[in-house]
Chains A and B, each alone.
Chain A
C-alpha cells in the first residue's frame, strides 16, 4: 500500500499514542492501583434478607478499617446513613433485593452497579472527612431520582 509520508507520520503517532494509553492502563490496572469493582460472588436475590451475608446491613469497624454491608432496594439504600473512618481502608459489600441499581458516592470514584443475584465488592480509602451524597446511578423505576443515601467520613480517632 502506497501511503503518503505525512499520513505515515500521523499513523505512527496515532499508534504511539494508543500504545501509551494501553501501557498506562496495564501498569495501573495490573498493579492494582486502579481496579474497577470486579468481584465474582452470587446470591439468591429473593432471599437477601435471610442470607447471613446480608441479614445485618451495617458498618463494622476494626483495627484495619471498616466493612460496609449494604443493599439497594427501590428506592433507597440500607443503611441510609453510613459512617466510616477517614484514612482507613473501607470495604463495601453490597447487592440488590429487586432491580439493578447503581451506587455512586458523589465526588469520589467509588462507583459500582448493584445487580440482583450478585455481590458487588470494592475497597477504597476516604482521605477527606465530611458528608458525602450517595446516589443511585442506574434507572430503577419511577423513583430512581429519589434514591440516595448519606456517607459520613469521620476523623479517625487517634
Chain B
C-alpha cells in the first residue's frame, strides 16, 4: 500500500472501529433494559438517548467510515496506483469526522433524542441535522475520489473491465450517490431550516418519503461492500477461486438498478400514500431478492472450490476443509448464515399484506440485526482482522480472541434475533424502554423471551469487546513485521479482457435514474399537489 493512501484508509478505519466500540457499550444497556432488571442507571431518558446514539453510530457512522476505508483500499490495490486528489480526500475525511462529532455531541447532551430515523415533528438541535449532513458531504467527496481513480485508470486501459472488487465498489458509490439525494433534500429543504427556526412547520409525511427514498438504498450501501468481501476476498483467503466473475458483475449491476425505487416498502402502514404506489414498490422489492439468490450460489460454489482444492471429494465434506479457525473466514461464513435467515425475514417484511403483522414490532429489530448487524457488521469485523495488519504492518495481537469472537457473535445473535422475532409476532413493539404495559397479561407473555434477548445481548457485547481488544491491541502493540500483501480472489475462468455491457456504469446509472423517476417523481408530485398542513416541532425528551 502506498503509505499515503494507507494512512487515509487507516484514519477512516479507526473512526469506524471506535464508533463501533462506543455503540456496542450502549447496546449492552439497551439489551438489558427490557429484561426489567433493577439496574441503577436505568431510566427512560437514558434508554432513548442511548438507542439514538447506538442507531446513529452503528448504522450511519461505523458503516460509512468502514466503507470509505475499504473503498480506498480497493481503489488503490486493485488498480495498483495511489488514489488521486488526496488532499481533497483528507478534506472529506475531516468534514465527515467534524459532522459526526457535532451529531454525537447533540445526542449525548440530550438535545437530539429523535432516534437515527429522526422523523419530524420530533425536533432535534440543529447540530444533529447539520452534523449528519456533513457526514454525507464527506462521503460524497469519497465517492468522487473513487470514481476519479477508476476514470484515471480507464484512460490508460481503454476497453478493459475494472477488476471485480472495484466493480463492486463503484456500484456501492453509485447506489450511495443516488440514495443520498433523498436525505440531502430532507435535511436542506425541510429539517435544517425548520430546526434553525427559519420555517415554522414541516410536513411529516413528505419527510418520511424523502427519508425512505434514502433509507432503503442505504441498506445496499451497507451490503454491497460486504458482497465485495464475499466475492473478492473470501475465496482467496479460504484457498479457492471465484466461481463466476460475470455473474458477480451482473449482481452488482442489478443492485445499481433496483436499490432505490422500492422505499415505500418501509411505509406500507403510512397514511397519505396511495395503495397503488405501495404495490408498485412491493413488486420491485421482490425483484431485488434475485441478485442475493445468485450471490448465495456463487459464493457457496466458490467455497466448494476451496474445499475441493484442499482434497475434499464427498458431497459436503468440503465444508469441513474450510479454514474455520481463520477470523476472516469464520466471520464471513457465519455472517452469511445469519444473512440467509435475515433474507427470508426480509421477504416477509416486503410482503405487502403480511407486513401489517410485523411492522414496527420487535420482529424488525430482530431482522435488521441479522442483516446490517451481522451480514454487514460481522463481515466488516472479519475484514478488519484481515486488513488492519496489512495496513499497519503489525501482526494481529490476541489472535485467540479473534478466533472466538465470530462464534460468540453468532450465538449471541441467534438468541437475540430469534427471541425478538417471536416477541414481535406476539405484538411487542420495537423501540420501547419497558415492556410491562402496566401489568397487562398480553405483555406478560413476552417476559421470558425478553430475558433470552438480554442474554443474547450479553454474548454480543462480549464478542464486540473481544473485537475491540484485538483491534486496539494490534494497533497499539502489535509486533512489527513485513506486511502481507492484499490479494484478491481469482476467477475460475479467466475474465474477458474486453469490457462488456455489465461494465457500462454510465448506462446503468441512467437506467437506475429513470426507474427512480418513475417510482418517485409521480407520487411525490401528487403529494405536493394535495392541500397539506405542516406540523410545529416537539421535543418530548
- Chain A contacts to B: CB under 8 angstroms: 1-4, 6-7, 10-11, 14-15, 17-18, 21-22, 24-26, 28-30, 33-46, 74, 98-100, 102, 104, 106-107, 109-121, 132-133, 135-146, 148
Contact = CB atoms under 8 A, between A and B. Distances in A.
Contact of B271 (A17, A28, A37, A141): A37
Contacts of A7: 243-244, 247, 294, 297-298, 301
B438 interface: yes
B271 A118 contact: yes
Given A25-B352, A148-B437, A107 B271 contact: no
Contacts of A15: 290
Contacts of B273: 38, 40
Nearest to B364: A137
B167 interface: no
Interface in B167-215: 203-205, 208
> Number of contact residues on B: which range applies?
35 or more
B443 interface: yes
Interface in B261-284: 267-275, 278-279, 282-283
B525 interface: no
B438 A148 contact: yes
18 contacts: A3-B244, A7-B243, A18-B286, A28-B353, A33-B353, A34-B353, A36-B278, A38-B273, A46-B536, A104-B429, A111-B357, A113-B269, A115-B270, A115-B271, A116-B121, A117-B533, A118-B270, A133-B443
Contact of B121 (A10, A41, A100, A110): A100
Interface in B21-49: 44-45, 48
B385 to A, nearest CB: 30
B290 A133 contact: no
Contacts of A21: 286, 289, 347, 351
Nearest to B361: A137
Contacts of B427: 104, 106-107, 133, 135
A141 B267 CA distance: 20
Interface in B440-490: 440, 442-443
Given A1-B250, A18-B287, A29 B205 contact: no
Contact of B297 (A10, A17, A74): A10
Given A21-B347, A22-B283, A35 B247 contact: no
Question: Which residue, A2, A43, A121, has most C-beta atoms of chain B within 10 A?
Answer: A2
B147 interface: no
B430 interface: yes
B275 A109 contact: no
A3 B396 CA distance: 39
B119 A135 contact: no
Contact of A136 (B122, B250, B290, B429): B429
A28 B426 CA distance: 24
A119 to B, nearest CB: 6
A139 B442 contact: no
A142 B431 CA distance: 11
A28 B353 CA distance: 8
Given A28-B353, A36-B275, 13 more contacts: A3-B247, A18-B286, A21-B351, A28-B352, A35-B353, A99-B119, A102-B269, A104-B361, A106-B442, A112-B269, A133-B440, A142-B48, A146-B438
Interface string B203-239: 1110010000000000000000000000000000000
A98 B119 CA distance: 12
B289 to A, nearest CB: 6
A141 B432 CA distance: 10
B454 to A, nearest CB: 16
A114 B397 CA distance: 52
B465 to A, nearest CB: 28
B313 interface: no
Contacts of B247: 1, 3, 7
Contacts of B432: 144-145
Interface in B518-541: 530-536, 538, 540-541
B357 A144 contact: no
